[in-house]
Amino acid sequence: MSTTPQAPPYSRKNPFPAKLVVSQTLTLSGSEKETRHYEFSLAGSGMQYEPGDSMGVFAKNNPKLVEDLLEALHFSGGESVTTKEGETFTLREGLLHYFQITQPSKQFLELIAERSATRAELKELLDPERKRDLDNYLWGLEIVDFLLDNPSLRLTVEEFVRTLRKLQPRLYSIASSLKAHPEEVHLMVASVRYESHGRKREGVATTYLADRVAVGAEVPMFVHIAKGFRLPEDPSTPIIMIGPGTGLAPFRAYLEERKALGASGKNWLFFGEQRHNCDFFYKEQLEGLQKEGVLTRFDTAFSRDQPNKIYVQHRILENSKEIFDWLESGAHFFVCGDAARMAKDVDVALHQIVEKHGGKTPEQAAEYIEALRKEKRYKRDVY
Ligand SMILES: Cc1cc2nc3c(=O)[nH]c(=O)nc-3n(C[C@H](O)[C@H](O)[C@H](O)COP(=O)(O)OP(=O)(O)OC[C@H]3O[C@@H](n4cnc5c(N)ncnc54)[C@H](O)[C@@H]3O)c2cc1C
Ligand SMILES: NC(=O)c1ccc[n+]([C@@H]2O[C@H](COP(=O)([O-])OP(=O)(O)OC[C@H]3O[C@@H](n4cnc5c(N)ncnc54)[C@H](OP(=O)(O)O)[C@@H]3O)[C@@H](O)[C@H]2O)c1
């Protein structure tokens, strides 16, 4: 008898309203960060995910920023807005949940360049050849800044709204295994808060989750499948996981999964954060997994506990011979977290290890690592 597979009912287009059941800080007093642990209920959704997948989360903008924008634009908020999809709502509603209202679009910048005297430099910066200078100029600047320093500027609602992009869902690596937590999904999220040009700024989704969603409230979300970031199919395959900061999230899921499966493969985790005392996320759980033998090797790098920085790649290099032996015995090498700095430096360390212990030239080491990548044994999920 054949059964027709049913399309999953929940998707990006039809997100599931997942109830927030736990929201707590992972960072302790003394930390310079605010990294949080969230648990959502997927009960009744039938949603399935695998460790390595992410959740797409639909957030709402901060109502305070919406009011600041309306005031700067001299709008009441009650004006009617119709989207390209034909949906109609008030401008206030649109600014709250439909439009991206922090980082400016190119169209918005073009409008400002055309209509404002205070940002005369923008015209030149919008030349495609000056993309880098424009990015530097825009770092820490938001839509509201361009309006506040142009109090005499008068835009129509239509003119303004035409320049706005749609607010996109944010992805978060799933930090739990369904086998350990049926009908739940756990996320590990670093709240984005900073100050620039004299204003306090907030990341949309991270502060929505941290400040504006109460336990018991629902957040629309969907599973974003990441086939390229899965555990090896053979549960006896060893894995090496490099996960500083929130890069730890998928590896908590991997370890929970491997424990639930009773997988025999060895697991080696490298975790890094600023300080042992206040930034050692899931310390008890990870140390417990080590005692149980699920976590075969566990190395940490706390960057700010001593005058010189110690990062995960330093720990990797200290253990270079064993890392190479694990790779030679078929281990998969996973990296998750910061793309701009960490993932690049870890990649350099990996090349050094292969050169040193494989007796290879830089070119041969690059070939070896390329082969790992092709065999899907060097997997990265970086952002
Ligand atoms: C596959 C994937 C998995 C991810 N997993 C996780 C995860 O597990 N946990 C996690 O926390 N994040 C994760 N992220 C990142 C996440 O998707 C968001 O990008 C992040 O949380 C910020 O979202 P936000 O809406 O709060 O910030 P946004 O509103 O998008 O603001 C971020 C923007 O603010 C600006 N900005 C930030 N800091 C500064 C500063 N100091 N100065 C000036 N400007 C600044 C930059 O323009 C930046 O792009 C993942 C991303 C991907 C692609
Ligand atoms: N835009 C920004 O200013 C900014 C700032 C922080 C994070 N982020 C982004 O926010 C996301 C999540 O950050 P997170 O809180 O998970 O952690 P994170 O910022 O990646 O920090 C985790 C650990 O990695 C260390 N680290 C810094 N540079 C490194 C490098 N080159 N190699 C290895 N380790 C390095 C940090 O040390 P130190 O902090 O002591 O250097 C810290 O101990 C990432 O995408 C990151 O890029 C952006």
> Token digits for 353?
């290890």
311 lines ligand 2 (CB under 6 A): yes
Centroid of ligand 2 to alpha carbon of 338 (angstroms): 6
368 and 249 share one domain: yes
Residue 92 within any structural domain of the chain: yes
CA dist 217 → 17, 20, 113 (Å)? 9, 6, 41
Instruction: Select from 162, 190, 216 the last residue of a domain.
Output: 162
First to last CA, the chain: 45
Whole domain around residue 37: which residue ranges?
16-59+169-224
246 lines ligand 2 (CB under 6 A): yes
31 lines ligand 2 (CB under 6 A): no
47 and 180 share one domain: yes
46 and 183 share one domain: yes
pTM to 2 decimals?
Answer: 0.95
CATH number at residue 244: 3.40.50.80
Residue 345 within any structural domain of the chain: yes
- pLDDT of the chain along its 383 residues, tens only? 445 555 558 999 999 999 999 999 999 999 999 999 999 999 999 999 999 999 999 999 999 999 999 999 999 999 999 998 899 999 999 999 999 999 999 999 999 999 988 888 899 999 999 999 999 999 999 999 999 988 999 999 999 999 999 999 999 999 999 999 999 999 999 999 999 999 999 999 999 999 999 999 999 999 999 999 999 999 999 999 999 999 999 999 999 999 999 999 999 999 999 999 999 999 999 999 999 999 999 999 999 999 999 999 999 999 999 999 999 999 999 999 999 999 999 999 999 999 999 999 999 999 999 999 999 999 999 99
Centroid of ligand 1 to alpha carbon of 202 (angstroms): 10
157 and 290 share one domain: no
Residue 7 within any structural domain of the chain: no
Residue 285 within any structural domain of the chain: yes
344 lines ligand 2 (CB under 6 A): no
255 and 316 share one domain: yes
What CA–CA distance (Å, rounded) separates 45 from 169? 19
CATH number at residue 219: 2.40.30.10
Q: What is the residue with the minimal CA distance to atom 29 of ligand 2?
A: 342
When divided into structural domains, the chain yields a total of: 3
**What letter represents residue 159's amino acid?**
E
Centroid of ligand 2 to alpha carbon of 245 (angstroms): 7
244 and 376 share one domain: yes
220 and 233 share one domain: no
pLDDT of res. 119: 83
Residue 2 within any structural domain of the chain: no
Q: How far is CA 68 from the centre of its chain?
A: 27
Please, is 361 exposed, middle or buried when counting C-beta atoms within 10 Å of its C-beta (0-12, 13-18, 19+)?
A: exposed
Torsion of Cα atoms, 367 then 370 then 371 then 372, to 10°: 130
15 lines ligand 2 (CB under 6 A): no
Q: What is the residue with the minimal CA distance to atom 22 of ligand 1?
A: 203
Dihedral sign for Cα atoms in the order 314, 316, 318, 321: negative
263 and 366 share one domain: yes
Ligand at shortest distance from the CA of 38: 1
152 and 178 share one domain: no
Residue 329 within any structural domain of the chain: yes
Ligand at shortest distance from the CA of 170: 1
341 lines ligand 2 (CB under 6 A): yes
Instruction: Select from 117, 138, 162 the last residue of a domain.
Output: 162
Where does the chain have alpha helices with state H? 63-73, 91-97, 106-115, 121-125, 131-138, 143-148, 157-162, 204-207, 249-261, 276-279, 283-292, 312-318, 320-328, 342-358, 362-374
Centroid of ligand 1 to alpha carbon of 359 (angstroms): 40
Residue 68 within any structural domain of the chain: no
104 and 193 share one domain: no
125 and 189 share one domain: no
Ligand at shortest distance from the CA of 244: 2
- Ligand 1: which of 40, 61, 136, 172 to mutate, most ligand atoms within 8 Å of CB? 172
141 and 200 share one domain: no
Residue 67 within any structural domain of the chain: no
253 lines ligand 1 (CB under 6 A): no
125: three-class secondary structure by DSSP: helix
Which residues partner with 35 through β-bridges?
190
pLDDT of res. 4: 55
